[in-house]
């Protein structure tokens, strides 16, 4: 039975109570906050395994709160909302959320998604770094570092770079990279991979890391250290 902690930021008590009951029955420790301010302050001072975040909060927009969390943490975030527009899903996932659940929802489905995201997060944190440490590039605390300088990657950027580094010299298509990042629910994301790769390259250059993300024209991207 897991002792991982889940933070719920949701202003509707009935919904929060349902989620708390479902998660605690399965062994999770749960902290509930009805406002964005309280939730953000808690996350800054603690290390939850996952955050369930409502988009419509009384004191802030959930999308803005997600951006603030991503400034200092790569904790998995699942959006919970009554809104079902495609543009909302696009915005939520593009700013760093890991999943999106629309109300009304099945508590058991949310539980399954929580477990899946935590498993992926734990697997990413255990990535082998020995070979990359030798060249100065290594993973730590859901970010990559070069010679002790953090790249400050977003959650999606971390997943993309981690996939490439874990399979040196293997070419990945945009679709394959999206699958590895668990953001493949909508094909619309395929066209955005290029912008994320560009951001990663810029962050590598900012810490004077050597060029290591290469383009195979017509196929995709691959990692090769120099």
Structural element, H or E, at residue 192:
none
Is residue 190 exposed (0-12), middle (13-18) or buried (19+ Cβ within 10 Å)? middle
Dump pLDDT digits (tens) for 121-138: 776 655 444 444 445 788
**Is the pTM value of this prediction over 0.85?**
no
Strands across the sheet containing 149-150: 137-140, 143-146, 149-150
What distance in Å separates the CA atoms of residue 85 and residue 16, rounded to the nearest whole number? 23
Nearest 5°: phi and psi at 167?
A: -135, 70
**pLDDT in the model for residue 156:** 80
**pLDDT in the model for residue 10:** 95
Higher pLDDT, 90 or 104: 104
Q: Above 60 in pLDDT, residue 49?
A: yes
Q: Contact 38/57 with Cβ under 8 angstroms?
A: no
Dump pLDDT digits (tens) for 163-195: 888 888 888 888 888 776 654 444 345 567 888
What distance in Å separates the CA atoms of residue 106 and residue 153, rounded to the nearest whole number? 33
Categorize the per-residue pLDDT at 84 as very low, low, confident or very high, splitting at 50, 70 and 90: low
Q: Above 90 in pLDDT, residue 110?
A: yes
Alpha helices per DSSP H over the chain: 13-25, 36-45, 62-70, 86-94, 107-125, 130-134, 155-166, 174-180, 193-206
Mean pLDDT of 71-88: 77
Categorize the per-residue pLDDT at 75 as very low, low, confident or very high, splitting at 50, 70 and 90: confident
Helix (H, G, I), strand (E, B) or coil at 82: coil
Q: What is the mean pLDDT of the chain?
A: 83
Q: Contact 51/43 with Cβ under 8 angstroms?
A: yes
């Amino acid at each position: 039975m897991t002792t991982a902690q889940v933070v719920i930021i949701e202003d509707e008590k009935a919904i929060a109570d349902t989620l708390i009951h479902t998660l605690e029955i399965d062994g999770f420790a749960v902290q509930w906050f009805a406002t964005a301010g309280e939730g953000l302050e808690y996350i800054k001072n603690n290390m939850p395994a996952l955050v369930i975040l409502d988009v419509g909060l009384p004191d802030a927009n959930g999308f803005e709160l997600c951006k603030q969390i991503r400034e200092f943490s790569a904790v998995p975030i699942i959006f919970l909302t009554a809104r079902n527009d495609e543009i909302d899903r696009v915005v939520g996932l593009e700013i760093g959320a890991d999943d999106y659940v629309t109300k009304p929802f099945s508590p058991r489905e949310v539980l399954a998604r929580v477990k899946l995201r935590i498993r992926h997060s734990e697997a990413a944190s255990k990535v082998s770094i020995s070979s990359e440490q030798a060249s100065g590039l290594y993973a730590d605390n859901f970010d990559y570092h070069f010679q002790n300088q953090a790249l400050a990657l977003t959650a999606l950027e971390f997943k993309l770079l981690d996939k490439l580094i874990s399979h040196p010299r293997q070419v990945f298509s945009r679709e394959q990279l999206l699958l590895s990042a668990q953001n493949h629910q909508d094909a619309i994301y395929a066209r955005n991979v290029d912008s994320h790769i560009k951001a990663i390259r810029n962050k590598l250059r900012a810490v004077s890391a050597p060029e290591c993300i290469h383009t195979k024209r017509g196929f995709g991207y691959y990692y090769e250290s120099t």
